[in-house]
Structure 1
Amino acid sequence: MKRQRGRARVALAGAAALCAVAALPGQSWAAGRPSPYAFEAEAKPVKGTPVNINGPELTAGSAYKDSIKPGEKRYYRVNLDARSNAYVSAVAVPRLGTKVTYADQLEVSIENGSGTECSDGEARFGSAAYPRPVADYASRRIEKDNSSCQEAGAYYVLLERDSDAASTTEPWDVELRFASEPALKSAGPTAAPEGWPSASPAVPAGGPQQRHGGTSFHDSTSLKQGEWQDSIKPGETLFYRVPVDWGQQIFVRADLANSPSGDAAKSVGNALVLALHNPARGFVDDESGMYYDGKQKSVSLDPLPPVRYENRYDSDSATSAMRFAGWYYLSVTLSPEIEEAYGGNAVPLTLRVNVKGDAKAAPAYAGPAGDFRVTEDDQAAAESGASAQEAAKSDTMMLVAVGGLGAGTVLVLGLGVWTLLARRRQPVDAAPAACSVPGQGGPQGPAQGVGHAPAQGYGYGQYGPPPGQ
């Protein structure tokens, strides 16, 4: 009898876990304006200080959330050893409807105990001056011939927001992440390769498939090589991620279809921004030179080198950023000015992703590579379209189920989970029914969708359906 009650409790727990899939952070239905960026549920709130030694400590592998006003400086502390490379990224998230200009940027830098700057990065809007998430990182890199920023001890991360007088003065939300890269067992080459293939590849085989982007780095949709169809609304930013292993190259092209509203006399400059960030969320490259007149247009990232450890020694910033294997993040933003000229309906979008080259052996790291590798699970996520957020939830549910269910039941539960995950990557036009757990009092709060939740996108209102639906 006790065993039966135990199994019943586990079954209820498994059902509750399935409901949790329908209510993943950043994917639930909510009243009011949509959230512009789905911060990690585990992101720790912090408040940087104007004095460096008083700054809150950041730990490797963790995410943090803060905010910053124009002209402010915010310090944080990281404790580093004398062997590992350190990367601290900052994602600036202006609110919807605010104004930014070419001069607006968020600078992130790392300083040692003597106030010497180790490196800096700038998250900027450039010529596409409209609000959207922008990101870059600063690093502390161990270098044989460098005499500064090599010692172990306390280092200080500094955020500075530069703002134009014409820009909105509202605070920007900021997501911080600290990643550590292990040292090599022995020193390797310190010069980046000079030549690499740069010819654009052919259109990926297999035909178009539908997959809907996420709202942030945290819930970005996994893609493999292929042709991916989606739809995007004015002012919206969609996030995707692609596993790129050592020795491989990534090529990306974005096609914006003709407007469903028809042609208009007005042409919108910088209509679409296609951006790429590396596994530490450092800026690699972007392209925004699209003039949209209601007819189909396309933009492509410039050819990038194969992923190599030695790329970090190149003076070109885009080449240097292709320094480690792992998930490379794509973001696509449609200018909010499109709404004025063509209305607020979603415009069909196609991403063509090529990953060229066979995977090479990883460098001989002295410790676990962490984020800087491509695993079999990563390849499976790219195949299915699962995000890191979904994969983590799925792992949790499986652990719950295995605690008391038979192998056959676990298999059925697992299939149910992945069915739900597949469904929730598609846009929907109405909120699904509430999730309930048998014997637990019916619906668990407001209705939670197992589909992609339009109310949480970086845009206005619901997503339109993908092409063909």
Structure 2
Amino acid sequence: MRQRSRVRGALAVVAAVFAVAALPGQAYAADGPGTYTFDPDAKAVSGVEVNADATELTSGSVYKSSIKAGQKLYYRLNLDAKTNAYVSAVVVPRDAGKVAYGDGITVSVRDSSDDQCSSGDALFGSAQYPRPIAAYASRRVDKENTSCQEAGTYYVLVERETKATSGQGDWDLELRYASEPKLAQASSAPTEAPSAWPSASPLPPTAADDNTRHGGAGYYDATSLQTGEWKDRIEPGQTLFYRVPVDWGQQVFATAGLSNSTTGKGQYVSSALAMSLDNPAIGHVDNVSPMSYAGKPTSVSLDPLPPVAYRNRFDSSDNVSAMRFAGWYYLSVSLSPEVAKAYGDKPIALTLQINVTGKAVDSPYTGDAGIFGVTQGDKDMARKGQNGAQAARSESRSSTMKLVAAAGIGAGAVLVLWIGAWMLIARRRAAAVPAAPTGGGQYPYGGPPQAW
């Protein structure tokens, strides 16, 4: 009976592993218009108005903070003399308060003497409704510069600009700090920006049989897309996030279109749809002039951008300079809450046309490029329309099924061994029992052999 219990135990282990594999994963999705999905691993950090009290940020980490109207907040960096550092800030207004044309944030990296290494800003502009917007700044190692080159203490300064007539509520911040990998051959890296690149928009992509892709509610759960035409639906006041893998030497083109509305009377809504593109460091690349809407089909496209290249960083224009590394490029599409007043609060059909053109070339970095590269796994995610969280769960399930397979093989081997041992013991016991006497005699040892 002891052998039977052990076999049952092995089978119970296998059953338990299958049960774990079947548990549903936790999803991260928008709960409604205006909802933003923060990275669940983001660490809470408080910015300070006195730089000497600033909390240190570490490379490869994500942080959540907040900023009040008119505040200037410091965070600390400890940098070496060889590594390019990038810090981005996503600003997320907590309520639907009014924002003005010049409202937004400025992000800068400064040395211990408060000399500015670089800065970037994110403004709401003519699309004057609250939504997530992003900006970044960097400390770049450059032999031609004399400032911001030494190892030591640096600071990230985030400044909020809010007009007196705008909403005064707190804004959340999602901060990211990333370090750029080292060049494989630093001495041979080009130091001049490109002067020309293909500017003709490619032909519209073909729609897949199943081309529905619902955008995420933040950079963390942005839905992956590849070249193609994709359908979604967007509600007034909502911002949807998508990401596209763009490798070295490749260009990305994007067009967003709204369908006609079956409600309303053709009312004109200015700056109804806003679309922005951000690079792998969540640094702003470009945006379109916000598109107006009058209930009829309309679309807007990003201006042609150069192929991804290391040398783009030497260009004086921000949109070219931001196309400086490969990786996930993020598209955010926002629909004005004013659309609800004219056409109701039901979602409107949204179409995205994505084209990634050009042959991928080798990475200029040595070793693992991290977020500044495109892997086969990234391409698979784009093909499947997964976000990062979904891909992680799929990988976890795959690992679990491998464990299940191993457990099944192990349990099967245990079962076979115990059955073999069981049969061997039974045969030996049977062989050890004397044969019954003939002629109706009695069994020795007080009775017949006991059944096993």
Q: Counterpart of 1:219?
A: 221
Q: Counterpart of 1:335?
A: 336
2: CA distance, partners of 1:97 / 1:390: 30
What is the RMSD of the two structures over their aligned residues, measured on CA atoms? 1.8
Aligned-pair CA distance for 1:283: 0.3
2: CA distance, partners of 1:387 / 1:158: 31
SS in 1 for 2:91: strand
2: CA distance, partners of 1:289 / 1:349: 15
SS in 2 for 1:89: strand
Q: Counterpart of 1:403?
A: 403
Matches within 5 A, 1:22-37: 23-26=26-29, 36-37=35-36
Q: Counterpart of 1:85?
A: 84
Q: Counterpart of 1:9?
A: 16
2: CA distance, partners of 1:354 / 1:258: 24
Percent of aligned positions with the same letter in both sequences?
53
Q: Is the 8 A contact 2:34 2:237 kept in 1?
A: no
Q: Counterpart of 2:290?
A: 289
Aligned-pair CA distance for 1:297: 0.8
- More moved, 207-216 vs 195-204: 207-216
Q: Is the 8 A contact 1:263 1:295 kept in 2?
A: no
SS in 2 for 1:371: helix
Structure 2 stretches of 5 or more lacking a match? 1-5, 410-452
Determine if the alignment matches structure 1 residue 135 to structure 2 residue 138: no
Matches within 5 A, 1:44-55: 44-55=43-54
Q: Counterpart of 2:166?
A: 167
Matches within 5 A, 1:56-455: 56-185=55-184, 186-187=186-187, 188-207=189-208, 209-264=211-266, 266-363=267-364, 365-406=365-406
2: CA distance, partners of 1:404 / 1:126: 54
2: CA distance, partners of 1:391 / 1:132: 27
Query: What is the CA deviation profile of residues 217-251 of structure 1, one whole-angstrom value per residue up to 9, with x for unaligned ones?
Result: 00000000000011111111000000000000001
TM-score normalised over the length of structure 2: 0.85
Q: Is the 8 A contact 1:39 1:218 kept in 2?
A: yes
Query: What is the CA deviation profile of residues 289-330 of structure 1, one whole-angstrom value per residue up to 9, with x for unaligned ones?
Result: 322111111111011000000000000110000000000000
1: CA distance, partners of 2:402 / 2:285: 42
2: CA distance, partners of 1:225 / 1:408: 41
Q: Is the 8 A contact 2:257 2:297 kept in 1?
A: yes
2: CA distance, partners of 1:173 / 1:294: 33
Query: What is the CA deviation profile of residues 174-213 of structure 1, one whole-angstrom value per residue up to 9, with x for unaligned ones?
Result: 1000111022132211001111100111111245711111
SS in 2 for 1:271: strand
1: CA distance, partners of 2:249 / 2:357: 9
2: CA distance, partners of 1:71 / 1:355: 40
Aligned-pair CA distance for 1:25: 3.7
Aligned-pair CA distance for 1:393: 2.2
Give the structure with the higher percent helix. 2
SS in 1 for 2:12: helix
Residues 10/355 of structure 1: CA separation in 2 closer, same or farther (3 Å cut): same
Q: Is the 8 A contact 2:251 2:358 kept in 1?
A: yes
Aligned-pair CA distance for 1:35: 6.3
Q: Is the 8 A contact 1:235 1:334 kept in 2?
A: yes
SS in 1 for 2:296: coil
Aligned-pair CA distance for 1:357: 0.5
- More moved, 389-398 vs 376-385: 389-398
Residue type matched to 2:328 in 1?
A: W
Aligned-pair CA distance for 1:406: 4.2
Aligned-pair CA distance for 1:367: 4.1
SS in 2 for 1:341: helix
Structure 1 stretches of 5 or more lacking a match? 410-469
Residue type matched to 1:93 in 2?
A: V
Q: Is the 8 A contact 2:270 2:292 kept in 1?
A: yes
2: CA distance, partners of 1:106 / 1:346: 30
Residues 331/148 of structure 1: CA separation in 2 closer, same or farther (3 Å cut): same
SS in 2 for 1:405: helix
2: CA distance, partners of 1:258 / 1:6: 56
1: CA distance, partners of 2:360 / 2:135: 26
Q: Is the 8 A contact 1:271 1:288 kept in 2?
A: no
Residues 306/142 of structure 1: CA separation in 2 closer, same or farther (3 Å cut): same
Q: Is the 8 A contact 2:192 2:311 kept in 1?
A: yes
1: CA distance, partners of 2:407 / 2:350: 42
Aligned-pair CA distance for 1:144: 1.4
Query: What is the CA deviation profile of residues 348-402 of structure 1, one whole-angstrom value per residue up to 9, with x for unaligned ones?
Result: 1100011111101111x24421100000000000000010111122223333443
Q: Is the 8 A contact 2:309 2:323 kept in 1?
A: yes
Q: Counterpart of 1:449?
A: none
TM-score normalised over the length of structure 1: 0.82
Q: Give the number of equivalent residue pairs.
A: 399
- More moved, 236-245 vs 107-116: 107-116
Residues 404/251 of structure 1: CA separation in 2 closer, same or farther (3 Å cut): same
Q: Counterpart of 2:427?
A: none
Residue type matched to 1:24 in 2?
A: A
Residues 340/35 of structure 1: CA separation in 2 closer, same or farther (3 Å cut): closer
Q: Is the 8 A contact 1:6 1:404 kept in 2?
A: no
